[in-house]
Each structure stands twice: as C-alpha cells, then as structure tokens.
Amino acid sequence: MKIVILDRDGVINFESDHFIKSPAEWKPIPGSLEAIARLTQAGYRVVVASNQSGIDRGLFDMDTLNSIHDKMHRAVKAMGGRIDAIFYCPHSADSNCDCRKPKPGMFERIAGCFNIDLTHAYAVGDSLRDLQAAATAGAKPVLVLSGKGKATQADGGMPEGTLVFDDLAAVVEYILKS
C-alpha cells in the first residue's frame, strides 16, 4: 500500500498563530487540494496526522473540529481527491501523552490501522516536531516551506535525510516521479 501522511495546518491549509478554531478559518493553501487529488488518483492513500491542542485548551470542541474536517474532506473531494483518515492529538503540550508529535504515537496508530510498515511512507510537515515524529516512526520526513516551514529550516536540527520542498504540490510532483 502506498501512503502519504500529511500534517494539516501549514501543509494543507494556512497556518494560524491563534489556531484554526472554525470552518470559516480553514483556508486551503493554493495547490494543496489538487496535490491531494493527484495522490489519490495515482493510487496513494492520504492520511492526516495533526496536533489539535486547541481542544484541550478549550478553544474549540469536537463538533467544531469535525466541522472543520468535514469542510476539508468536501474541498478535497471537489477536486477529485480523498483523505482516507484523520488522526489527531487533542492534548496540550504539557499533557505528556504518547500521541502528540514529536512523539510517534499517531504514526504508530496509522501503521496499525492500515497494517503497514512506514519505511516507504512519506510524512509531510512544516514543523520540527512533524519531522521528528515521522523519523522516529520510520517514515520518510518531508519539510514544506509553507506554514512554519521556512522558520523550521532556518532553525536546523532536522532529522537526517529530510527532504525539503516549497509546498505540498512540489512534494507530490517529486513523489509521483519517484
């Protein structure tokens, strides 16, 4: 099975320093929905793995998160694509859970649910914690320079072998040519 794991904010949609707290605040990065559609049409499974500490912080509730994700699903579907699953961590950074990136818990759940070895999976994110979780779980870490990606690249310390691209569309172009 071919699978690509995507962080949400900063990869699929624009990032916000104040969290995406409503469907109205969720706005796709140009080219991201088409990129997901290209993966889907090429036979890839697309899975989202996202820290969503706004739930634990009381900034939004599960119904709101589900509405945001429903908007994302519909937008991707309108372009001819599909997101096969969404995994998220609702905990804040101080909760010490196993699912919050940079820990690999979400990736391990994805591997278990899809019964796959992640060594051939690309995991795309815009932050160091996305890359660390991917690398620890055995996936191929990919940094996009959208969202917080430029700052992440400037700060350094990325896992060895991290691939770097301007945005999700460029990542998908690379994957489909590989």
- The answer to whether residue 70 is catalytic is no
Catalytic annotation, pick one of 7, 126, 130, 167: 7
- The answer to whether residue 166 is catalytic is no
Query: What is the full DSSP assignment across the chain?
Result: --EEEE-SBTTTB---TT---SGGG--BPTTHHHHHHHHHHTT-EEEEEEE-TTTTTTSS-HHHHHHHHHHHHHHHHHTT----EEEEE---GGG--SSSTTSSHHHHHHHHHHT--GGG-EEEESSHHHHHHHHHHT-EEEEESTTTHHHHHHH--PPTT-EEESSHHHHHHHHHH-
Which residues participate in catalysis according to the annotation? 7, 9
